[in-house]
């Protein structure tokens, strides 16, 4: 922000500044809201809306202030004049806004115009009076002294300094209801102090060397090849992306019609055409879709190699299952798929089989990884391409659903915006009825908030 503000004040390239008359005083280096917005639009090639937004943020963070009282939020596009805050008061100086300083400021305001303190300022004033009562004389004395010194300055300077101070305190002591822009959330890097103590000893450097050696030895693919892969992926999946290409019959979020979700339910009887097409993109897409996987399993049964998929599924269960179930699962997999003469014996090459059987002596979560990978590759290179060429798959494509597009409602602006509601899940509130709308605009969210 400071970079922006500094370049805005550049005498040649910055915002057009003028001396303005405010009643009888002349204020130099003032700008209007529209000047600022225009400059932003030109410099950063952005829209007016965005420039206004950025301007409003600069005001909110105290880098720009209006010369008129009362100060309203945001950037006004009328003849309101603004000035740039002096770097002394910038938020980046990170000076803690001391209670004492605030007390002096409030005292000055109180003295200068009796009873001009706004409600929350009055509250703060009383609070501070109680808290630092012992030095209150100092506070009042300082306040009077500062006011006296100010009287010796020109009226224009006085006004500017008063505005600067006011802006500073608006940022550091925001009125109730205005969120503080200084709020940063939970502290980060609090463990830095500990980290700094982590000595850069030989172990640390040995690890670094190891990391770098590994990095040097890594096989890298040319960026151009990778970028082409993205092009291919995105164009292949483009028609399947509801945000890019829309979805049939319609996007439930726009038309409130949830047919789309019903037709694409995980275990629907007749899958949509797009869905069946996706199974042809990659083996992973096929397996991840429960309907696709079920059809693939049927196909494998006809080829008498269904045990491969069952084995793979059992391995997945082991890898992602609970720690306590591991020994039992490993044993059951062995009995079903790996033991000599097993009912559903899987055909793994002898080397992998030997290694796996060896590893089974001390079963752990990843003991079947090699065997699983072997079977996965077998299915991917062999059964999967055959599946795609099979009559089964072709039949599925032909029978798949293509939903007609439902016309959007004629008047989209009559779509009723949804607000979040109270819910019975919350502990019972008082008997009085509260208004239903809490958040403005369409509310609600996915389970992840």
Partner 1 sequence: SLQDGKVIVWDSFTTNKEHAVTMPCTWVMACAYAPSGCAIACGGLDNKCSVYPLTFDKNESMAAKKKSVAMHTNYLSACSFTNSDMQILTASGDGTCALWDVESGQLLQSFHGHGADVLCLDLAPSETGNTFVSGGCDKKSMVWDMRSGQCVQAFETHESDVNSVRYYPSGDAFASGSDDATCRLYDLRADREVAIYSKESIIFGASSVDFSLSGRLLFAGYNDYTINVWDVLKGARVSILFGHENRVSTLRVSPDGTAFCSGSWDHTLRV
Site map for partner 1, 56-75, x if CB under 8 A?
A: -x------------------
| Partners of 64 in the β-ladder | 84
Q: Does 258 bind partner 1 (CB under 8 A)?
A: yes
Structure tokens at 1: 């922000």
CA–CA separation, 422 and 432 (whole Å): 13
Region 265-304 residues binding partner 1, contact defined as CB under 8 A: 282-284, 287
Q: Which stretch binds partner 1 (CB under 8 A): 38-46, 75-83, 100-108, 404-412?
A: 38-46
User: Hey, which residues between 380 and 439 contact partner 1 (CB under 8 A)?
Assistant: 418-426, 439
CB of 316 to partner 1, least distance (A): 7
* # of chain residues touching partner 1 (CB under 8 A): 91
Which one of residues 110, 146, 251, 392 is an interface residue with partner 1 (CB under 8 A)?
Answer: 251
Position among 134, 320, 407, 416 found at the interface with partner 1 (CB under 8 A): 320
Among 10, 12, 49, 78, binds partner 1 (CB under 8 A): 49
Choice between 215 and 431, CB closer to partner 1: 215
Is the Cα dihedral 53, 54, 56, 57 positive or negative? Answer: positive
Q: How far is residue 52's CA from residue 81's CA, in Å, rounded to a whole number?
A: 15
Instruction: Considering only residues 105 through 164, tell me which ones interact with partner 1, judged by CB under 8 A.
Output: none
Q: Out of 149, 231, 414, 429, which residue is the one contacting partner 1 (CB under 8 A)?
A: 231
- Neighbouring residues of 230: CB distance < 8 A, sequence distance ≥ 6: none
Task: Identify which range of 97-105, 236-244, 334-342, 381-389 contacts partner 1 by CB under 8 A.
Answer: 236-244
* Phi and psi, residue 448, nearest 5°: -95, 115
Name the segment binding partner 1 (CB under 8 A); options: 117-125, 302-310, 362-370, 408-416: 362-370
Edge-to-edge, what's the strand order for the sheet holding 64-66? 18-22, 25-32, 81-84, 64-66
Q: Taking the complex as a whole, how short is the minimal distance between the CB of residue 360 and partner 1, in angstroms?
A: 17
Q: Taking CB under 8 A as the criterion, which residues in 175-204 touch partner 1? A: 179, 183, 185-186, 188-192, 195
Residue 319 lies near partner 1 (rule: CB under 8 A): yes
The interaxial angle of helices 369-378 and 350-359, nearest 10 deg, is 150
Judge residue 107's burial from the number of C-beta atoms within 10 Å of its C-beta, 0-12 exposed, 13-18 middle, 19 or more buried. buried
Q: Is 244 in the site for partner 1 (CB under 8 A)?
A: yes
**CA dist 334 to 49, 167, 314, 343, 379, Å?**
65, 74, 10, 11, 20
Query: How far is the C-alpha of 56 from the C-alpha of 68, rounded, in Å?
Result: 16
Pick the binder of partner 1 from 74, 174, 252, 280 (CB under 8 A).
252
Contacts of 123 (CB under 8 A, 6+ apart): none
Nearer to partner 1, 11 or 441 (CB): 441
């Amino acid at each position: 922000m400071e970079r922006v503000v500094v370049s805005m004040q550049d005498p040649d390239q910055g915002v057009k500044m003028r001396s303005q008359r405010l009643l009888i005083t002349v204020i130099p280096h003032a700008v209007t809201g529209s000047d600022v917005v225009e400059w932003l639009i030109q410099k950063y090639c952005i829209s007016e809306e965005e420039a206004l937004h950025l301007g409003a943020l600069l005001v909110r963070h105290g880098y720009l202030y209006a010369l008129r009282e009362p100060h309203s939020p945001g950037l006004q596009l009328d003849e309101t004049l603004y000035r740039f805050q002096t770097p002394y008061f910038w938020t980046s100086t990170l000076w803690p806004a001391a209670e004492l300083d605030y007390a002096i400021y409030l005292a000055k305001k109180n003295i200068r115009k009796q009873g001009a303190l706004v409600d929350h300022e009055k509250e703060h004033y009383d609070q501070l009076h109680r808290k630092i009562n012992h030095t209150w004389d100092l506070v009042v004395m300082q306040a009077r002294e500062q006011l006296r010194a100010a009287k010796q300055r020109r009226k224009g300077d006085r006004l500017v300094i008063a505005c600067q101070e006011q802006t500073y305190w608006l940022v550091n002591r925001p009125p109730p209801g205005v969120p503080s822009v200084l709020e940063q959330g939970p502290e980060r890097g609090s463990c830095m102090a500990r980290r700094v103590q982590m000595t850069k000893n030989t172990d640390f450097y040995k690890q670094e060397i190891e990391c770098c050696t590994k990095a040097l030895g890594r096989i890298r693919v040319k960026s151009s090849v990778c970028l082409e892969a993205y092009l291919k992926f995105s164009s292949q999946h483009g028609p399947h992306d509801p945000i890019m290409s829309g979805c049939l019959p319609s996007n439930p979020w726009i038309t409130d019609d949830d047919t789309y979700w019903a037709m694409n339910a995980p275990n629907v009887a007749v899958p949509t055409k797009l869905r069946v097409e996706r199974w042809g993109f990659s083996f992973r897409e096929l397996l991840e879709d429960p309907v696709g996987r079920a059809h693939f399993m049927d196909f494998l049964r006809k080829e008498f190699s269904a045990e491969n998929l069952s084995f793979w599924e059992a391995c997945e269960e082991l890898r992602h299952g609970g720690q306590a179930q591991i020994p039992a699962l490993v044993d059951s997999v062995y009995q079903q798929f790996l033991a000599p003469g097993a009912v559903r014996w899987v055909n793994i090459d002898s080397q992998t089989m030997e290694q796996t059987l060896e590893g089974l002596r001390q079963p752990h979560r990843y003991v079947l990884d090699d065997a699983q990978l072997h079977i996965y590759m077998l299915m991917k290179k062999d059964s999967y391409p055959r599946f795609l060429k099979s009559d089964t798959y072709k039949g599925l494509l032909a029978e798949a659903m293509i939903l007609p597009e439902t016309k959007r409602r004629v008047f989209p602006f009559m779509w009723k915006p949804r607000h979040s509601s109270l819910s019975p899940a919350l502990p019972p509130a008082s008997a009085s009825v509260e208004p239903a709308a809490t958040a403005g605009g369409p509310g609600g969210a996915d389970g992840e908030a």
